[in-house]
Amino acid sequence: MIKTRGLTKIFKIGKKQETELIAVDNLSLEVERGEVFGFLGPNGAGKTTTVRMLTGLIRPSAGSAQVAGFELGKEDTNIRRNVGILTESPGMYERLTAEKNLTIFANLYDVPDVEKSVNKYLSMLGLWERRHDTVGSFSKGMRQKLAVARALIHEPQILFLDEPTTGLDPEASKTVRDFIEELKTEGRTIFMTTHNLDEAERLCDRVGIFQQKLLTLDSPASLRDKMFGRKVVFHLRELQASWVNLVAGIAGAENVEAVDNKLVVSLKDPEERNPEIIKALVLAGAQVQFVGEIRHSLEQIYLEMVQSHERGQA
């Protein structure tokens, strides 16, 4: 659904536009139909710039992209018809009512039955009761919900969500997150940026970690495995020093460490190896209390990637 090849954006900045700022450098990626893709990166990484390029708001300096099957730069109007965008700041017409705001956009998107669509999304996002109130009187969360409704009013196949939950309270964030999950089940393609890595881990099929360049791209689980391998902890009632060597002797077990009365083992395929290790330990007289996997959070992966990238640049 989204395919970019060498997408690059260079801004000219400074008084005389003399300095070049590379906001996005040679970005190539592909997002499949129905996928939720998380675009992660620190402040100023170029995420919003990428979203703006892919929605035809600003022109790439180099490279090309296809969005919803249309060529960026050549068929922008078609792209705009087929994508919805939740911009970084919701940007509503404050003096107009929620209903009027949606009606305007429904008309601009050539929605066939404006009233029906507007009513549908007002009630879907829990704004029905407040539809006649001006947006100026709305809380941040309500504005964000209205902005989500606006992004969806024309039933786009692809949705770009730029920080959909930033600044929302836990409950409002959850509403928006649940809504994104619902959209996913409807088979829409979602390209979202977020600073909430927990959220990215829960929602996204794949994530790209990005800072000017794409640092890595994969599902959160494979990223974890790739970067940290998988580690299993065996909690024992008592630990005997000889068991470290015993476990280390089992094929596939690496870096066996003893920590208090626990054995920490790196394994490529714990599903296969764990029973074998447990059996060996039990035979040696160990009492296994429980077995767990150490899961690195996406946050740890993210920090590791971004920090090593920064070290590389320095």
Ligand X SMILES: Nc1ncnc2c1ncn2[C@@H]1O[C@H](COP(=O)(O)OP(=O)(O)OP(=O)(O)O)[C@@H](O)[C@H]1O
Binding site for ligand X (CB under 6 A): 11, 13, 21, 23, 41, 43-49, 88
- What is the total count of residues that contact other proteins (CB under 8 A)? 30
For residues 78 and 42, the answer to whether their CB atoms sit within 8 Å is: no
> Under a CB-based contact definition with an 8 Å cutoff, are residues 219 and 52 in contact?
no
- Does residue number 255 form part of the binding site for other proteins (CB under 8 A)? no
- Asked if 144 interacts with other proteins (CB under 8 A), we say no
Q: Which of 226, 228, 292 is nearest to 263 (CA)?
A: 292
In the complex with Mg ion, the residue whose CB is nearer, 130 or 143, is 143
56 is in the binding site of which of Mg ion, ligand X, other proteins, none (Cβ under 5 to 8 A by kind)? Answer: other proteins
- Assess contact for 176 and 183: CB atoms under 8 A: no
Whether residue 97 contacts residue 152, with contact meaning beta carbons closer than 8 Å, is answered with no
Cβ-based nearer residue to other proteins, 80 or 145: 80
Judged by CB under 8 A, does residue 108 bind other proteins?
yes
Residue 249's contacts (CB-CB under 8 Å, 6 or more residues apart) are none
Q: Is 48 in the site for Mg ion (CB under 5 A)?
A: yes
Residues 6 or more apart whose CB falls under 8 angstroms from that of 244 comprise 256, 257, 258, 263
- For Mg ion, give the closer residue by CB, 163 or 201: 163
| Residue 4 or 48 having the CB closest to Mg ion | 48
Pick the closer one to ligand X by CB: 168 or 286: 168
Q: How many CB atoms lie within 10 A of CB 233?
A: 15
Q: Rule CB under 8 A: is residue 228 a binding residue for other proteins?
A: no
Burial of 283 (0-12, 13-18, 19+ CB in 10 A): exposed
Q: And the tokens for 233?
A: 């902890």
Residues 6, 19, 59, 295: which binds other proteins (CB under 8 A)?
59
Q: Which of 25, 40, 45, 80 binds other proteins (CB under 8 A)?
A: 80
73 binds other proteins (CB under 8 A): no
Structure tokens at 114: 């404006």
Contact of residue 80 among Mg ion, other proteins, ligand X, none (CB under 5-8 Å per partner type): other proteins
**x/- string (CB under 5 A) for Mg ion, residues 53-92?**
-----------------------------------x----
Distance of alpha carbon 49 from alpha carbon 23, whole angstroms = 7
Contact between 105 and other proteins by CB under 8 A: the answer reads yes
Q: Which residues contact 181 (CB under 8 A, 6 or more apart)?
A: 203
Q: How far is the CB of 24 from Mg ion (least distance, A)?
A: 12
- Sign of the Cα torsion 302, 308, 313, 314 reads positive
Provide the binding-site residues for other proteins, judged by CB under 8 A: 52, 55-59, 77, 80-81, 83, 85, 87, 89-96, 100, 104-105, 107-110, 147, 150-151
